Amino acid sequence: MPCVAVREVENSPLMKPHLSAVPEARDVAGSRHAGSKAKTDFWLDVIIIVAAIGDVLAFVTAMVIAFYGRRHISNVLAADLQEFPYPLSFYSGHFIFGIFLFLALAGRTGMYEPHNFIRLRQIFISAMNAVFIWAMFYVCLSLLFSFRPSISRLYVIFSAILGFAFIIYWRLLFRLILNHNGILTRLRQRLVVVGWNLEVDHLARAIMNDAFHPYEIVGCLPSAHNKYRLEPPEKVKRLGQYEDIAAVHQREQIDIILLGDLDPDTTEIIALCEYCQREMIQFKVVPSYFQILISGLHLQTISGVPVLGIAKLPLDSLVSRLIKRAMDIIGATIGLVLSAPLIGIFGLLVYLESPGPIIYRQDRMGRRGELFKICKIRSMRLNAEKEGAQRAVPNDERRLKIGAFIRKWNIDEVPQFWNVLKGEMSLVGPRPEILGLIDDLKDSIRHYNARHNVKPGMTGWAQIHGLRGDTDLNERLRYDLYYLENWTPVLDIYIMFMTFRRNLNAY
């Protein structure tokens, strides 16, 4: 059997030259393509170095300003300056260590990845992650060790806030310069799709609708049987037949070949992979067998055999769950204290319009299917669910007059800080669905119950994008699953901040 497999691979169309009958022509074209890639890599290295130098200057400026700002505050408050008995030069060791620590964290969070120079939101998230971890590390050091000179925690906070602001300002300016000179476009990787299916179609539309996406779809080719499982959109250029891959690669200067159709037999897939290896093209596969939680895919070896499967998601880690729980306890405690007057005022207004219980409790499903009673300020009539549980709709007749205002500004949700404090919910996560609707939803919407792998949240990634109330549940689920796959503490902070700015479809 191995001999047969080898012979089949050798007979694959990809093992034969297609660019030209003259070998020299292919060699010249290949050398030109390799030279173009080398030139692109050189300029990419220059861009990364310039970005890193700018980041260092921005962060050093922030630390210096924070140092003098902290001293000024001490003077204003008539403090004795015992925390700052030395001039700036005595803190040079702290500065040097802080800069190297920040550069290491910036590299770890992806601030110098090529695609992060293109996508504005990714620059913001990566910089926030790096600065947040840097500040936490420094604060921990100041608590655990006695440094001479000592480290002021207020100085660390000032440095982090100013450092983040200066780095974002510098990166935005640098991005404008790169975009003005057309360099951002050259950083995009050119991609050809082999085959076409629903997953590829979704990816292609996302790329084509994003002017600053790090990938550019050059076109598509059918798979080895020269057919498409799903017809590509008209916007996507058909580049020929499967046998034309070599010619397309040389003509279009392809960086990535994405295999979106696994119908061809294994030998043909191996041949395509080997061709990409020979021609220094990245080879990627859309894992169509895994429809959800793709970022949790992990390759492991069992008895010498490689096995691909969903292993761990970010919140499967104990450390991640502890961090999230700590944020929940702190946030819920502060939230309850600050929202107590709101609960009292709007509870009174609800009672005056509709005498009865102010707090509304309803069964919801939590993590791993555990049931709990969610708490809300009542915004509807007492008999609003006499015909069974149902979602709110625009201009809902069951709603109280004050209820419209309460729901628009999410005031009805504030008692849920108590659910968070009890551990039944989290500040951020997929919104808990009405219990009576889940049995229907899990059968009618594929992968619906995957959202119950984490605690439900008071707000979520779907909600800040307007997906609440009577909106597309499939689209809402897609956003919920994105959150599960991409959770970080910074993402939670971002979602909480955006919750106060966006109240789309709140009715």
Give pLDDT tens digits for 259-301.
Answer: 887 666 677 778 888 888 787 888 888 766 555 555 555 555 5
Predicted confidence at residue 165, as pLDDT, reads: 92
Task: Pull the structure tokens for residue 440.
Answer: 């229907």
Predicted confidence at residue 289, as pLDDT, reads: 55
Tell me, yes or no, whether 401 lies in a domain. yes
Is 141 in contact with 94 (CB distance < 8 Å)? no
Task: Pull the structure tokens for residue 93.
Answer: 């060791």
Predicted confidence at residue 436, as pLDDT, reads: 64
d(CA 326, CA 337): 17
Predicted confidence at residue 4, as pLDDT, reads: 40
Q: Provide the number of structural domains found in the chain.
A: 3
For the beta carbon of residue 394, count every other beta carbon within 10 angstroms. Answer: 8
User: What are the tens digits of pLDDT across the range 374-394?
Assistant: 898 888 877 766 665 566 656
103 and 240 part of one domain: no
Tell me, yes or no, whether 15 lies in a domain. no
Which helix or strand (DSSP H or E) is residue 184 part of? helix 183-187
437: confidence class by pLDDT, cuts 50, 70, 90: low
Predicted confidence at residue 291, as pLDDT, reads: 53
Helix runs in 109-152, H state only: 120-144
- Residue span of the structural domain in which 57 resides: 41-183
Is 280 in contact with 306 (CB distance < 8 Å)? no
**Average of per-residue pLDDT across 151-173:** 87
Sign of CA dihedral 352, 357, 358, 361: negative
165 and 204 part of one domain: no
Phi-psi category of 498—alpha, beta or left, where left has phi over 0 and alpha has psi -120 to 50? alpha
259 and 340 part of one domain: no
165 and 195 part of one domain: no
Please state the φ and ψ torsions of residue 450, each to the nearest 5 degrees: -65, -25
Last residue of a domain, one of 142, 159, 183: 183
Whether residue 238 is predicted with pLDDT greater than 80 in this model: the reply is: yes
Phi-psi category of 481—alpha, beta or left, where left has phi over 0 and alpha has psi -120 to 50? alpha
Task: Pull the structure tokens for residue 356.
Answer: 């009865």
320 and 446 part of one domain: yes
Is 163 in contact with 58 (CB distance < 8 Å)? yes
Tell me, yes or no, whether 92 lies in a domain. yes
Tell me, yes or no, whether 270 lies in a domain. yes
Is 252 in contact with 216 (CB distance < 8 Å)? no
334: confidence class by pLDDT, cuts 50, 70, 90: very high
Is 141 in contact with 147 (CB distance < 8 Å)? yes
In terms of Cα–Cα distance, which of 489, 373, 438 is closest to 125? 489
pLDDT, the chain, mean? 76
Please state the φ and ψ torsions of residue 228, each to the nearest 5 degrees: -105, 135
Query: Who has greater pLDDT, 15 or 253?
Result: 253
Task: Pull the structure tokens for residue 216.
Answer: 């550019």
d(CA 455, CA 371): 11
**Average of per-residue pLDDT across 427-451:** 72
Chain Cα centroid distance, residue 93: 35
Whether residue 328 is predicted with pLDDT greater than 90 in this model: the reply is: yes
**Average of per-residue pLDDT across 172-194:** 79
Predicted confidence at residue 428, as pLDDT, reads: 93
114 and 149 part of one domain: yes
Tell me, yes or no, whether 305 lies in a domain. no
404 and 475 part of one domain: yes
335 and 274 part of one domain: no
Predicted confidence at residue 74, as pLDDT, reads: 59
Predicted confidence at residue 309, as pLDDT, reads: 59
46 and 163 part of one domain: yes
Tell me, yes or no, whether 10 lies in a domain. no
20: confidence class by pLDDT, cuts 50, 70, 90: very low
169 and 239 part of one domain: no
120 and 253 part of one domain: no
Whether residue 304 is predicted with pLDDT greater than 60 in this model: the reply is: no
pLDDT above 90 covers a percentage of the chain that reads 10
CATH number for the domain including 278?
3.40.50.720
Find the Cα–Cα–Cα–Cα dihedral 425, 426, 429, 431, rounded to 10°: 40
d(CA 482, CA 476): 10
Q: For the purposes of burial, counting CB atoms within 10 Å of the CB of 273, is it exposed (0-12), middle (13-18) or buried (19 or more)? A: middle
Sign of CA dihedral 245, 246, 251, 254: positive
Last residue of a domain, one of 114, 148, 183: 183
Last residue of a domain, one of 183, 216, 250: 183
Tell me, yes or no, whether 403 lies in a domain. yes
**Average of per-residue pLDDT across 419-448:** 78
Helix runs in 297-388, H state only: 318-353
Is 160 in contact with 208 (CB distance < 8 Å)? no
Instruction: Give the CA count within 13 Å in the CB-facing half-sphere of 21.
Output: 0
Tell me, yes or no, whether 205 lies in a domain. yes
339 and 254 part of one domain: no
